[in-house]
Amino acid sequence: MIALYIVYCDGACSGNPGPGGWAWVALAGGEIREAYGGEPVTTNNRMELLAAIEGLSSLKARMDTEELKAGPVEVRTDSQYVKNGVTSWIASWKRNGWRTAGKTPVKNRDLWERLDEISTTLSARWVWVEGHSGEVWNERCDELARRGVAENR
């Protein structure tokens, strides 16, 4: 039986826009791997999206090299924006030519397209977790994302 692969992800920003950070922690193949990064001028939403993209991309790369067998993937995020966007809103955005219900262009389209592709490829299941509630790996992502902010000031 193939184990469930879990990717936690989080983004942070100091000012909006301002210096930002993203982070992920993956529980896969009996290992815990993590990474973080950031940008000097960005938004919180972009960092939340980039965290998910980077975490899933890392997991997919391990599957592509057969380091990990393909298996079920669950993404845990404390961002309602990311979770609702990828599980609900994105279908309408694509049907409407990347326009919102209010007919305005979807913000962060470049990242949404990347996230949609990788999430669909991995058939990822999305779960919202409450931020700052003591969940160990979500808290670790928050810590790493804040490190990404600090390193981009």
Query: Which residues are 101's β-sheet partners?
Result: none
Helix or strand (DSSP H, E) at 3: none
How many angstroms separate the CA atoms of 55 and 58, rounded?
5
The residue behind tokens 């409450």 is 130
Query: One of 30, 102, 130, 132 is an active-site residue; which one?
Result: 132
Structure tokens at 70: 């393909």
Q: Which of 10, 38, 54, 55 is catalytic?
A: 10
Residue pair 77/9 in contact by the 8 Å Cβ criterion: yes
116 flagged as catalytic = no
> Does residue 64 carry a catalytic annotation?
no
74 labelled catalytic: no
User: Is 10 annotated as catalytic?
Assistant: yes
Q: For this structure, is 132 an active site residue?
A: yes
Which is catalytic among the residues 55, 85, 142, 148?
A: 142
Whether 110 sits among the annotated catalytic residues: the reply is no
Q: Are 73 and 3 in contact (CB under 8 A)?
A: no
In the set 38, 55, 78, 148, the catalytic residue is: 78
How far is 107 from 100, CA to CA, in rounded Å? Answer: 9
What are the E-state strand segments in the chain? 5-13, 18-28, 31-42, 73-77, 125-128
Which is catalytic among the residues 21, 38, 48, 148?
A: 48
Residues with a catalytic annotation lie at 10-11, 48, 78, 132, 142
